[in-house]
Amino acid sequence: MVKTVAVIGAGISGLAALKCCLEVGLDAICYEGSDDIGGLWNFKEEVTEGRASIYQSVFTNACREMMCYPDLPIPEDYPNYLHNAVFLKYLRLYSEHFDLQRHIKLKTMVLSVRKCPDFS
């Protein structure tokens, strides 16, 4: 029997967790409260209560070789230190490359979580 897994948030960690779950054959669904992937790296002009944010001018503080996922290097034509919009573009590339988007439910807030009775 295939186990069902919920991944909460489609930011940098949520995308990696979703991909890993799918790789090992789990039935994984990622719930993202906003209207797009990217988490903190998806800059929004408007402030939303309960949502952490970055400011519009933020760049990564680590080089692209340190910021990338090990299974998908950041393209060579990207700058060494990425503006948040460029890093978001990379996260979208990752999502598309591993076909993650179809496993992500956008605009879906997780209000509570509880362990299933048959959890093992």
- Which of 61, 24, 65 shows the shortest CA–CA distance to 41? 61
Q: DSSP assignment of 30-93, as one string?
A: EE-SSSSS-GGGS--SS--TT-----TT-B-SS-HHHHSBTTBPPPTTS-SS-BHHHHHHHHHH
How far apart are alpha carbons 76 and 73 in whole angstroms?
8
Number of other residues whose CB lies within 10 A of the CB of residue 7: 25
Return the pLDDT at 64.
93
Q: What is the pLDDT of residues 45-103, one digit of tens each?
A: 888 887 888 889 999 999 999 999 999 999 999 999 999 999 999 999 999 999 999 99
pTM: 0.92
Query: What are the pLDDT digits (tens) for 5-19?
Result: 999 999 999 999 999
63 within 8 A of 80, measured Cβ to Cβ: yes
